[in-house]
Structure 1
């Protein structure tokens, strides 16, 4: 059997025009901090549009989030984005946090309603706080001219009254001043494309960036997926079966699955990807490499600010 001369691997010679961003969480220990900064240093040469740092349920990581974001802004050339939620905080308290970020040179906020401190609990607004992310975006924009990203749920937020109500809420957040939405992770490209059809039909023209979760631990991803209404296809379970004690093999399978998802999204026109790194660089770096991104590339910051 003879291959054609033009036969090339699936990922060969991509244009390298994908744009990426990375999410981290604030470290709890010195060892975790070392791992986080190793991941940041590994991924920084890929010139991400921004890197974001999460905010624990109920504001439980407020100080650690601030310290991590401020250090990124201070010690690297990366654009640092801080997650900020409405949970267990008054408008005045949130305003103080926003002011502290602005004073630290942070110009990008990922504005979220946030999860309640108790697992399985329901969100209850602070008596003097914001009722949800749309109000939070509006309040932040009155405070400072932040760039703001918000969340989107291709498979519908688990607390939404309906898919239409969830879409209406997304539109309110964007109309309030958000620049883009980043989706909850999903595992089938059709999930994103069907969602985008609904988004466009609703008159929403903002960027809706697919959130990508490389599966480093299948059981953990199953738990997270159950909490956020993400469907885990049966084939994923079959692919990861038997790999619990084979971390190197599991990494290869994980990278393959996530890269295939990204390639199909790319073929469908997606050019922006947001990676939930879990403070590890290897999988995200490998996927970005397959998408044609190379260390040391330059990006048009003027375009990115649009």
Structure 2
């Protein structure tokens, strides 16, 4: 297939691109290489992709409608994976407009480009953040997600609603993927594992929010990518079991689906730090702090819908995933 991957220099996008090319697909990567976090890491990911046969790249933003449409018209993708977004919960408290520009205006441009070019399937990144104030665990795609606690979460829920509208009005097959705390080699420097590793190796204290008592469904990068590929290959149709008198947020009479991709095994943050300490061979000095605004106490993915429809669920335990991350980090940064 010819697959356009937005956010191709990002953590998930770069790994997905590698996998797609390895199986024989052609990929056009699209990324603005912004400085939300260290661009040298994005450049290094991109440098690994550039020599691969079947890969090409466009540097531009989702908000740049002309550049995006030109990329569609020149590459003529069969399918699209939209992973480009303004990420981060805490940053959304400081710079909310970035989330509207990239995650909502940019996503509208993606939908319009797909609609007018007969794209076979649009897969897009949503987030476990959409569950917001929900406390019933595990989080299920059948649950209502109407109580977001950050603008980042709001933007991702908005993407799901926008996608459904285009699936309903124009028959565009769309699949939204709610990722749960992705980690692993080549990860994002603003995520806890990266921050903790850097500070522990530097002998600096780490900030541990909610006194380390919250739990996260940490999901290894390879498991996330496998889930993306499984869903990309499965173009949704109207759900024959959909009941408009008892509607579910997870499917529709339109060609629309939403899935969780999580490890289905939440781990307490203090335990996660212990695993990291074991891998690094060093103890962390912890600054125990209260829960931050916009954060949620726990996440836990019910992946039964993903397993039912694709036969797949993530399985990598954190002790294995963290070990792989530490090995990569020490090699990449020479520490």
Instruction: Give TM-score scaled by structure 1 length.
Output: 0.42
Using CA pairs under 8 Å that are at least 6 residues apart, name the structure with larger relative contact order, 1 or 2: 1
When normalised by structure 2's length, the TM-score is 0.39
